[in-house]
A and B are shown apart, each in its own frame.
Chain A
């Protein structure tokens, strides 16, 4: 084929860019049929929370080594996925790039969109062989971005990343629920996801990083708002996700109650952002209030994760009782 443009695929930014993209791709390919919050919950993506010490906007996607974070996400919904990624400055990149162009086109020929790091994550939904370009949705603009085959993977960050998806196996709903909260526990308990660097805190520690930056006062204005909005959105997703799966485990239901309590804090948090120069920023008069709300949220989430632990402990966990041969590693 020389020109492909997938129909019925629309990526809208609401959640994390990865989930927005995944939802668009899977829905269009009939690999998933359901609301975004459920996808975000089942994949464990909604729990991911990471904060740079200066509240840089990159915090929102810096929740770990993407390969190690996204694979368990796809696997928990039974989805086959192939990820390739790396640093564009490495000499072998050009070869991986050519392979990536081929695989991306192949996926599009089969009618499945491709996850692509722009940054942030977006969806490749078409290509044109004559112009040698891919079309990418970033979810913000209805205008598609254009990426030349020869520039595939190149962007202002040092990373390239793409992911294609294949078939699915059926996993029982309860098994997915269980694994999803185990992913949540791991995220909550892992303070640094991008070691050896310690400038980004994750999980429980992410709250501390947020609070510390607010106390210190020297932080990225745009990033602070982006992190806070993204945080609120993902916690709303968790609330909806936990809510709809009530009635299986009592401890789960307790966690759902706790996330409802957490949601009561959102109006207060939102009132700590004010409009400024066509944008929003943290109201410096209210940082004290915001800090208090974040501390309260952290305590509630900590209690909810303890409820998850209680659910999890009742079942064997082979994936986490055996040391793997993949996953986190030192970037080289």
Chain B
């Protein structure tokens, strides 16, 4: 049996799980809205986590199972997923199950999301070849991923997610919830990550600036981190412009995020240079991140003031819906 979902193709823009999720939802016809709005509504764009040495894994150092489930849940899409270490003794059982779930999704005409050194889309499979067909946003053609190679990544993680059903939610409620999650992400450390090695939200800025000051960072990682978060901040800026149309009170938040985006775009340009950073470039980066930190804090302050009633109701745990 071989099935390929027509027209399912992932495009790398948000540099994250969003690229895969948006491809799947759009192809299924469940979503016509632009990717930045999805990145905002799912609150994914607001995640801002770095390894203190700015390693390349930083943008994906989060709880895939919990957070990508929530991304779907926030927009009223149900999801099944699983993840683990491939060296775990039970992995072969889970791989078999994962392949079956992915094939089942494809049979029902919806792509599956798979971790293959990044979040990619499984668009088809061929039982005779014992392979999945993957759209990874890098190569134009679908790439083969043998069933037996599922989970064989550069990092020791395997992961997949299949989206199941969809219910209609009030978009205004989705927007409001995303703002609550944005505040939470800004203020809270991800409990899955050891604080000695990782920083989240507001603290991520301090960590980046510290790494630059001490010149203690992974050069490649720094490039990846700034590029990925430049994409995220760009998505947020556009998202906030959409929200501003619904709630003029958010206008100032949107303009603060415009400033954040600007800083990140310039930082990404500097970080992308091939060589080691000059003293001057380093200083400039520090300044850019310091400005961005301030702007983002101001943006969140506006959002907090806008959401103050909900914050009050949820004062024991503002993230808990």
The answer, among B85, B87, B89, B167, for a CB contact under 8 Å with A95, is B167
- Tell me if A95 and B317 are in contact (CB < 8 A): no
Which of chain A's residues have a CB closer than 8 A to the CB of B316? 196-197
Q: Mark A145-168, 1 if CB is under 8 A from B, else 0.
A: 000000000000000000000111
- Tell me if B317 and A331 are in contact (CB < 8 A): yes
- Tell me if A75 and B188 are in contact (CB < 8 A): no
- Tell me if B90 and A96 are in contact (CB < 8 A): no
> Shortest CB–CB separation between residue A319 and chain B, in angstroms?
7
Which of chain B's residues have a CB closer than 8 A to the CB of A89? 321
Q: Within the assembled complex, what's the spacing in Å between the Cα atoms of A174 and B56?
A: 36
> Residue B145 at the A interface, CB < 8 A?
no
> Residue A7 at the B interface, CB < 8 A?
no
Q: Within the assembled complex, what's the spacing in Å between the Cα atoms of A92 and B71?
A: 12
Q: Within the assembled complex, what's the spacing in Å between the Cα atoms of A96 and B166?
A: 11
CB-based nearest A residue for B43: A332
> Residue A315 at the B interface, CB < 8 A?
no
- Tell me if A322 and B85 are in contact (CB < 8 A): yes
| A:275-332 near B, CB below 8 Å | 318-319, 322-332
> Residue A99 at the B interface, CB < 8 A?
yes
Q: Within the assembled complex, what's the spacing in Å between the Cα atoms of A95 and B78?
A: 7
B157-165, B279-287, B296-304 - interface stretch: B157-165
- Tell me if B317 and A196 are in contact (CB < 8 A): yes
- Tell me if B319 and A332 are in contact (CB < 8 A): yes
Q: Within the assembled complex, what's the spacing in Å between the Cα atoms of A236 and B56?
A: 47
CB-based nearest B residue for A98: B165
CB-based nearest B residue for A67: B65
B4-12, B191-199, B269-277 - interface stretch: B191-199
Interface size for B (C-beta < 8 A) is: 48
| A:149-197 near B, CB below 8 Å | 166-169, 171, 175, 195-197
- Tell me if B319 and A331 are in contact (CB < 8 A): yes
> Residue B1 at the A interface, CB < 8 A?
no
Whether A80 contacts B93 in the complex (CB less than 8 A), given A197-B317, A330-B184, comes out as yes
> Residue B152 at the A interface, CB < 8 A?
no
Q: Mark B186-226, 1 if CB is under 8 A from A, else 0.
A: 00101111100110000000000000000000000000000
Q: Within the assembled complex, what's the spacing in Å between the Cα atoms of A80 and B165?
A: 25
Which of chain A's residues have a CB closer than 8 A to the CB of B61? 323, 325
- Tell me if B66 and A326 are in contact (CB < 8 A): yes
- Tell me if A325 and B159 are in contact (CB < 8 A): yes
- Tell me if A329 and B63 are in contact (CB < 8 A): yes
Whether A329 contacts B192 in the complex (CB less than 8 A), given A196-B317, A318-B85, comes out as yes
> Residue B109 at the A interface, CB < 8 A?
no
Q: Within the assembled complex, what's the spacing in Å between the Cα atoms of A75 and B184?
A: 32
Q: Mark A102-119, 1 if CB is under 8 A from B, else 0.
A: 000000000000000000
CB-based nearest A residue for B317: A196
> Residue B67 at the A interface, CB < 8 A?
yes
Which of chain A's residues have a CB closer than 8 A to the CB of B191? 195, 328-330
- Tell me if A328 and B89 are in contact (CB < 8 A): no
> Residue A91 at the B interface, CB < 8 A?
yes
> Residue A57 at the B interface, CB < 8 A?
no
Which of chain B's residues have a CB closer than 8 A to the CB of A329? 63, 66-67, 190-192
Which of chain B's residues have a CB closer than 8 A to the CB of A80? 90, 93-94, 97
Q: Within the assembled complex, what's the spacing in Å between the Cα atoms of A322 and B194?
A: 11
- Tell me if B87 and A318 are in contact (CB < 8 A): yes
Whether A332 contacts B164 in the complex (CB less than 8 A), given A80-B90, A92-B76, A166-B97, comes out as no
The answer, among B63, B90, B165, B197, for a CB contact under 8 Å with A79, is B90
- Tell me if A78 and B90 are in contact (CB < 8 A): yes
Q: Within the assembled complex, what's the spacing in Å between the Cα atoms of A80 and B62?
A: 24
Q: Within the assembled complex, what's the spacing in Å between the Cα atoms of A95 and B76?
A: 10
- Tell me if B93 and A167 are in contact (CB < 8 A): yes
Q: Pick from B65, B90, B193 the residue with the most CB of A within 10 Å.
A: B90
> Residue B246 at the A interface, CB < 8 A?
no
> Shortest CB–CB separation between residue B54 and chain A, in angstroms?
15
Q: Within the assembled complex, what's the spacing in Å between the Cα atoms of A92 and B67?
A: 15
Q: Within the assembled complex, what's the spacing in Å between the Cα atoms of A25 and B184?
A: 40
The answer, among A91, A196, A326, A328, for a CB contact under 8 Å with B167, is A91
Q: Within the assembled complex, what's the spacing in Å between the Cα atoms of A319 and B85?
A: 8
- Tell me if B63 and A325 are in contact (CB < 8 A): yes
CB-based nearest A residue for B166: A95
Q: Mark A67-108, 1 if CB is under 8 A from B, else 0.
A: 000000001001110101001011110111001000000000
- Tell me if A324 and B192 are in contact (CB < 8 A): yes
Q: Within the assembled complex, what's the spacing in Å between the Cα atoms of A91 and B167?
A: 8
Question: Ordered nearest first, which 5 A-B pairs have the shortest CB separation?
Answer: A329-B66, A80-B93, A326-B65, A325-B64, A95-B78
B residues within 8 Å of A by Cβ? Answer: 60-67, 70, 73, 76-78, 80, 82-85, 87-90, 92-94, 97, 156-157, 159, 164-165, 167, 169, 181, 184, 188, 190-194, 197-198, 316-317, 319-321
Query: Beyond A78-B89, A325-B60, A330-B319: 11 further Cβ-contacts under 8 Å?
Result: A89-B321, A90-B321, A91-B169, A92-B78, A92-B167, A99-B78, A322-B85, A326-B65, A326-B83, A326-B192, A332-B319
A-B contact pairs, 10 of them (CB 8 A): A80-B90, A92-B78, A92-B165, A168-B93, A169-B92, A197-B316, A323-B193, A325-B61, A332-B181, A332-B319
